Copies of this chain bind each other. A is one copy, B any other.
Amino acid sequence: MDSLPTRLNLALPDWVAPHVAAWPEAPGDEARMRLVLGLARENIERDAGGPFAAAVFAEGRVVAVGVNRVLPEQNSLLHAEVLAVMLAEKHFASHNLGAADLPRLELVSSCEPCAMCLGAILWSGLKRVVSGALRADAEQAGFDEGPVFPASHRYLEARGIELVRGVLREEAREAFDLYRKRGGRPY
């Protein structure tokens, strides 16, 4: 056997933290979505990954963000939501973002979460998810969303997770147009 890979060092690009620090507080779903859409746009313009971003907010304050890093990191699991959730759990030193001793947390994502990310959201303990572009928008741009059905959403809702979709949908779709215009391709 070749030596077994045992370590993964993952990092957000250097431009992400200053980008987020420059944003004002984000009171309300649309303001939070604008921050996330700004991250998605910058991720595209810097050729830093696919046209997706996400952030975990504690009562309007950003606590962690993620951008799609599949192609640059050669890691198919690095969707924006995956990084945002993992980094939020690191920030709070907890595998449960719904724990009673934490502030009320929510995930805002530039696009409806795919099958993998919906599962990740369920395991994270997050209780509210706001998304922008719809599944149909992602599919039209060539991105598969995987086995997500109306019953999948009901499954999460039955466990107390509020799912809000289509916030700033038109602006959110523009990320896909920008990605295509710059020669980005679905993968």
A residues near B (Cβ < 8 Å) are 1-12, 16-17, 20-21, 61-65, 70-71, 73-77, 82-83, 85-91, 93-97, 114-120, 122-125, 144, 146-149, 151-152, 155-156, 187
- Asked if B71 contacts A5 (CB within 8 A), the reply is no
- Write the nearest CB–CB distance from A117 to chain B, whole angstroms: 7
- Asked if B90 contacts A119 (CB within 8 A), the reply is no
State the number of copies, please: 2
- Asked if B124 contacts A115 (CB within 8 A), the reply is no
Interface centre among A8, A77, A152 (most CB of B within 10 A): A77
Kindly list 5 other residue pairs between chains A and B, CB separation below 8 angstroms, not including A7-B9, A8-B86, A147-B149: A5-B91, A70-B123, A76-B96, A76-B124, A122-B144
Q: Which residues in B have their C-beta under 8 angstroms from that of A114?
A: 119, 123
- Known interface pairs A10-B7, A146-B122. Does A75 touch B62 (Cβ–Cβ under 8 Å)? no
- Asked if A123 contacts B4 (CB within 8 A), the reply is no
- Asked if B5 contacts A87 (CB within 8 A), the reply is yes
A16 CA / B7 CA spacing, docked (Å): 12
Closest to A81 in B: B77
- Write the nearest CB–CB distance from A48 to chain B, whole angstroms: 13
Closest to A70 in B: B95
